[in-house]
Amino acid sequence: MNRVNNNLFQHFKGYESLIKKLNQLQEKYDQTDGNISLGFCNSGEITTIKSILADKIPYNFFGGYDEAIRKICIIGEDIDFKDYICCLAGSYNKKFNKLTHRDIKGAIYNSGIDLNKFGDMWVDDDKIYFYCCKDVKNYLQNNLNRIGRCTVKFEEVEFKKQIFKFEEYKYIVSSARLDSVVSALIRKSREKAKDFINAGFVNVNYQTIEDFTYLCNNNDILSLRTHGRYRIIDIEKNKKSGKIIIKVKKFI
């Protein structure tokens, strides 16, 4: 492994396997017939892909709507995303049960299908929506018929847009490390934040992260058990104090 790759691994900690895959794809791209799907990517993976591929080979992202959090990455040209992804919708009786994003995520993740086959998912009143790769659509329609205690039948619909509602906050932290950011968000000491992270109570971009030295990035989605879900929109260093100013949007 050369020095450049070592530097990349240090900069994009946690994305080593993705970097290896991207390097292999660059080498094979000219011999590949047709486009290549990398599946749905979270914001950290999107940042990594953009940095590694840059303008070396053609690629594009789309999640069904411009503001999507999870987006599919297709390497190649002349891309019609409707060939790769679809939006499924299902109704449930909210009179007796109230489903949450967590309920949907649990049911979908327990389907046995890889996470990279799924895009954004949300509940809007008595409707459930989620994006998925087209190659798993039929399986999900035939087998995903219950979420929590609710019976649901999913049908393919036109691409839908999730409407986000946020509250904005600004924090001053000593660094962009996960323990420092979590400490500010849950209003606890840094040691308490480390315990919180080690307990598996923190998801970054929908993956549990127990490494409190993880460096947070713009657009990272942090889910903190019992404390809500946040999107980092800006990380800026104060030149005079050396402190980090972090701006977040809290999903409401």
pLDDT given at position 8:
61
CB hemisphere CA count around 116 (13 angstroms): 10
DSSP conformation letters of 31-93: G--S-EEEEEE-HHHHHHHHHHHTTSS-EEEE-SSTT-SSEEEEESSS--GGGTEEEEEEE--
All domains in the chain, ordered by first residue: 13-79 (3.30.1370.50), 85-157 (3.30.70.330), 166-251 (3.10.290.10)
Alpha-carbon gap, residue 236 to 131, rounded angstroms: 33
Report the predicted TM-score, pTM, of the whole model to 2 decimal places: 0.81
Give how far the C-alpha of residue 9 lies from the chain's centroid of Cα atoms, to the nearest Å.
20
Tokens 């994003």 locate to 101
Q: Return the beta strands (E) in the chain as ranges.
A: 36-41, 59-62, 71-75, 85-91, 118-124, 127-133, 146-147, 150-151, 154-157, 166-173, 202-204, 207-208, 221-224, 228-237, 244-251
- pLDDT tens digit at each of 252 positions of the chain: 444 455 565 567 678 889 889 988 888 887 887 899 999 999 889 988 999 998 899 999 999 999 999 999 999 999 999 999 999 999 998 888 889 888 998 998 889 999 999 999 999 989 999 999 999 999 999 999 999 889 999 999 999 999 988 999 999 999 999 999 999 999 999 999 999 999 999 999 878 899 999 999 998 999 999 999 999 999 999 888 888 999 999 998
Q: Are 29 and 124 in contact (CB under 8 A)?
A: no
pLDDT score at 2: 43
- Given the DSSP bridges, would you call strands 166-173 and 146-147 parallel, antiparallel or unpaired? unpaired
60 — alpha (psi -120 to 50), left (phi > 0) or beta? beta
- Torsion angle of C-alpha atoms 220, 209, 198, 241, degrees rounded to 10: -30
